[in-house]
Structure 1
Amino acid sequence: MLYRRRREQKSLTGSISRATPSSAHSRYACRTYRLNLEERSARNLAKATILSYPLDHLLHLDTPILTALGLEPDFLYPLENVTIAQGRDAMFTCVVNNLGGYRVAWIKADTKAILAIHEHVITNNARLSVTHNDYNTWTLNIRGVKREDRGQYMCQVNTDPMKMQTAWLEVVIPPDINYEETSGDMMVPEGGSAKLVCKARGFPPPKILWRREDGGDLISRGGPQGKTKVTSLEGDIVNLTKVTRSEMGAYLCIAANGVPPSVSKRIMLHVHCCGFISEINSADKYGVKYEHKLRTDTYQTIIETNL
């Protein structure tokens, strides 16, 4: 019989959520609810009551109340890493539920510098700002990021113990040719050697790729495989040995690091030959003999006359 009575009470208690003040059973339902309260702890009762509030009401409850209810601040989503090109704007978003009277702070973790607390910027960096959507989302904005902004950032809540989450800001820089350390146009004799150098800066460090502008082959000599022909070579330096006139032309060094745009430098290689190609002997009407030597190279033809 007792078992049946409990089942009846449970069924009636379940109907309370559907009871209205005008219901004929409202008095009985209220009485049953009071009996149920005696079996609950005050904490469970308060928690059951508060959880029936709309969420926006919960956001404005005092910290002691939320703590008593076991509703401590909690991060809803992880803080996400950000990779961005130098000069653009970066943003970190921190979502915290049940904040109550606690405060959200932004900290540069690697330098331990406090950037902002709640909606107030602490640092003197004018490029930083914080926004709050009046709900549960706090955002740290960094305008025109610089290389020195790179590092670990922390969203922190001043609970005891402290709650926090971190993310990394990576600032990438597109490649740029370092003209002071890069070869210019050059001239070498046929059979001689040419050293082509191309230096670039950026982050991540750029890779250098060499090609001929006309699509021709780059010829490598002196390696373990002897003479080899390739359409491209990778590296800051290209050494050309025993150069022939067929290797004369424009060479392109292309710097790329995955951050657009890639850049290139055009280097013109001139090859000249200095051999005498003919000798002409003659004499004038007085019997004086002359020796003529015709010398040609890439740019000029010179006739030397020796007595």
Structure 2
Amino acid sequence: MDVTSWYFILILLVLTHQGVPKNYQTFDYEYYYPEADDPPVFTARPQTFTVEVGQSVIIPCDYNNPGVNKLIIKKFPAGGGSEKLLSVGAQRVTPDQRVTITGSRLTISHTRPRDAGTFLCHFDLEPPVQLRHTLDVQYAPSVRGLVPPEQHVARGSSVTLECEAHGNPEPILRWSRQGGKLPSGHHTAQGVRLTLEKVDRWAEGTYLCTADNGIGDPASAAMTVTVEYPPEVTAEKATMRTGEGDQLELMCIVHGRPPPDVVWTHDGTPLPDTMMDTQLHRPSHDTATTYTHTLLAHRHSLSISPVTENDFGTYVCIAENAHGQTTAMIQVTGLPERPKVTSSPNGGESTRYTLTWQTQTYFPITDFIIKYRKAHLDLWQGNGSLVMAGTWANVSKKVEGEARLGGPPRAMAHTLNNLEVATDYVAIVRVRNRYGWSAESQHFHFSTKKAMAVLQSTSGERSGAAVTWLLLLLFLLLSGVLT
């Protein structure tokens, strides 16, 4: 043992016997012989927290045996990006006032979608001690169209509507149409795109792309489809019957995109301009006729007041836009309507038949004509030969004292005499008023009373061939072929 060691032992012995001065601080024995601290251990387990936007969430970093180490909490954004330091020990580092630190727990109030991500509880040791939590923030969807809100497309072509949505969970996209079904006939279709094939004007409308994920209310984006096409024109009535002094309104229904310009002509002469509610005055005898062109939705009307004989004729509604021109024709006349026969086709008399008909007229009927003839082969000639249907017979008669009618159709009648027994006939009727003759009625088939034919034919003497014909006719009548 060297001199230095002995000297140190001697000093210790002296101090032991004399005591320690009062102002001298003793050292703890462990200060000179420290033992290594055990590393902290997290008592919380890794978790995934799911909250709706606006709610609060607690991120637990509970641990034991902390020693002198400080807990560090970091965040890694869900969408990627650099990590963010939130707290060191009990000290909050982030400037976000929604974040608070209580012991080893981090609380986020009024969560937002950007709060989602991975939270790391960390002790900076070697090796590091770590605990990871995941935060999933759910929020209601938002949606936007990826095409212009108004789509103009030519008739016959196709158009595709598209939208995108954001939300958590991932929203489901459905397409619908305001006020009706989709052109496919379905109420909805699913997907980010909706394609309309070979569109026509019935495909026009507002289409909705709706996103729904079960959080909050669904969100919708609206897109309007406008189909451009040439004018389509139809006359509400192709023939209008009127009389002098009346008021008349002609109507045509016009569709087209862009909205067509509409003009009217009378016997080839233009009437008012295409402006709505325009008027044209044309003198006629002692009165002045006013033409008024009005528009209500797709209905273009031309009012004539008062009507004169000069106003009869052909009116044409002409509609034109950038895609073409279309017309509709309306005939204005004072002639009576085509008669309609109303009598029964089965006559109740042997040699007579009363024909009844009705017609619409604004002026008295002055005349009528009835044409009639046999309708089929005549089997009852004296020599038993077959004869073709007979020639037309005419009945013409003037009508006296008829009053003008402008409401329900006029009913008329006339009895045809000297007809053959049990015979089929066909008749045509025409009527006339001060402006001329109506069109012919449709061919009307009738017959005289057929039971008499059986009685007459069985009372006479006929040859074997005639009897055969009689039996054949009776069979046909009983079977309903000739009735």
Range of TM-score over shorter length: 0.5 to 0.7
For the residue of structure 2 that corresponds to 1:79, the secondary structure is coil
1:198 aligns with one of 157, 163, 176: 163
| Contact 1:255–1:263 under 8 Å retained in 2 | yes
Give the AA of the match of 2:210: I
Using a 3 Å threshold, how does the CA distance of structure 1 residues 74 and 184 change in structure 2: closer, same or farther?
A: same
CA distance in 2 between partners of 1:126 and 1:276 (Å): 69
| Contact 1:157–1:164 under 8 Å retained in 2 | yes
* Matched residue, 2:122: 156
| Contact 2:212–2:218 under 8 Å retained in 1 | yes
1:143 CA displacement:
3.2
* Matched residue, 1:178: 144
CA deviations over 1:171-198 (Å, ceiling 9, x no partner): 444222336x455466767645444343
* Matched residue, 1:256: 212
CA distance in 2 between partners of 1:258 and 1:196 (Å): 24
CA deviations over 1:59-89 (Å, ceiling 9, x no partner): xxxxx7894xxx6422222132233444543
1:115 CA displacement:
1.9
| Contact 1:66–1:72 under 8 Å retained in 2 | no
Give the AA of the match of 2:96: N
Give the AA of the match of 2:123: V
CA distance in 1 between partners of 2:141 and 2:150 (Å): 22
For the residue of structure 2 that corresponds to 1:275, the secondary structure is strand
Say whether residues 1:96 and 2:67 are aligned partners.
Answer: no
CA distance in 1 between partners of 2:49 and 2:65 (Å): 26
* Runs of 5+ consecutive residues of structure 2 not aligned to the other structure: 1-33, 240-249, 257-296, 301-316, 320-326, 328-483
Percent identity of paired positions between Structure 1 and Structure 2: 23
* Matched residue, 2:177: 212
* Range moving further from structure 2, 269-278 or 208-217: 269-278
CA distance in 1 between partners of 2:85 and 2:201 (Å): 64
For the residue of structure 1 that corresponds to 2:234, the secondary structure is strand
CA distance in 2 between partners of 1:103 and 1:242 (Å): 70
2:234 aligns with one of 267, 270, 277: 277
* Matched residue, 1:76: 43
* Matched residue, 1:15: none
For the residue of structure 2 that corresponds to 1:198, the secondary structure is strand
RMSD, matched Cα: 4.0
| Contact 1:108–1:115 under 8 Å retained in 2 | yes
Using a 3 Å threshold, how does the CA distance of structure 1 residues 72 and 199 change in structure 2: closer, same or farther?
A: closer
Which of the pair has more CA radius of gyration?
A: 2
| Contact 1:105–1:116 under 8 Å retained in 2 | yes
1:233 CA displacement:
1.8
1:240 CA displacement:
1.2
* Matched residue, 2:90: 119
CA distance in 1 between partners of 2:157 and 2:74 (Å): 60
For the residue of structure 1 that corresponds to 2:86, the secondary structure is strand
CA distance in 2 between partners of 1:164 and 1:255 (Å): 39
Using a 3 Å threshold, how does the CA distance of structure 1 residues 150 and 304 change in structure 2: closer, same or farther?
A: same
Using a 3 Å threshold, how does the CA distance of structure 1 residues 186 and 148 change in structure 2: closer, same or farther?
A: closer
* Matched residue, 1:242: 198
Using a 3 Å threshold, how does the CA distance of structure 1 residues 157 and 275 change in structure 2: closer, same or farther?
A: same
CA distance in 2 between partners of 1:150 and 1:200 (Å): 18
Aligned residues, how many?
216
CA deviations over 1:151-171 (Å, ceiling 9, x no partner): 322112344432111122334
Give the AA of the match of 1:102: N
Using a 3 Å threshold, how does the CA distance of structure 1 residues 103 and 257 change in structure 2: closer, same or farther?
A: same
Using a 3 Å threshold, how does the CA distance of structure 1 residues 190 and 277 change in structure 2: closer, same or farther?
A: farther
Give the AA of the match of 2:86: L
Using a 3 Å threshold, how does the CA distance of structure 1 residues 243 and 114 change in structure 2: closer, same or farther?
A: closer
CA deviations over 1:188-214 (Å, ceiling 9, x no partner): 676454443434344565442112345
1:121 CA displacement:
1.1
CA distance in 1 between partners of 2:224 and 2:116 (Å): 39
Using a 3 Å threshold, how does the CA distance of structure 1 residues 183 and 157 change in structure 2: closer, same or farther?
A: same
| Contact 1:153–1:168 under 8 Å retained in 2 | yes
For the residue of structure 1 that corresponds to 2:62, the secondary structure is strand
CA deviations over 1:9-35 (Å, ceiling 9, x no partner): xxxxxxxxxxxxxxxxxxxxxxxxxxx
Give the AA of the match of 1:256: D
Q: Kindly report which structure 2 residues correspond to 1:11-30, keeping only aligned pairs within 5 A, or say none.
A: none
Q: Which has the higher contact order (CA 8 A, sep 6+)?
A: 1
CA deviations over 1:68-115 (Å, ceiling 9, x no partner): xxx642222213223344454333112212224333221225634432
* Matched residue, 1:107: 74
Give the AA of the match of 2:120: M
Structure with more of its chain in helix, by fraction: 1
| Contact 2:255–2:298 under 8 Å retained in 1 | yes
1:268 CA displacement:
5.5
| Contact 1:294–1:304 under 8 Å retained in 2 | no
CA deviations over 1:107-142 (Å, ceiling 9, x no partner): 22563443212211123333322102xxxxx21122
For the residue of structure 1 that corresponds to 2:47, the secondary structure is coil
Give the AA of the match of 2:181: G
* Range moving further from structure 2, 183-192 or 160-169: 183-192
CA distance in 2 between partners of 1:193 and 1:246 (Å): 13
1:147 CA displacement:
4.5
Give the AA of the match of 2:298: Q
Using a 3 Å threshold, how does the CA distance of structure 1 residues 231 and 300 change in structure 2: closer, same or farther?
A: closer
Give the AA of the match of 1:297: H
Using a 3 Å threshold, how does the CA distance of structure 1 residues 131 and 233 change in structure 2: closer, same or farther?
A: same
* Runs of 5+ consecutive residues of structure 1 not aligned to the other structure: 1-63, 133-137, 220-228, 282-291
What TM-score comes out, normalization by structure 2 length? 0.37
CA distance in 2 between partners of 1:245 and 1:210 (Å): 19
* Matched residue, 1:14: none
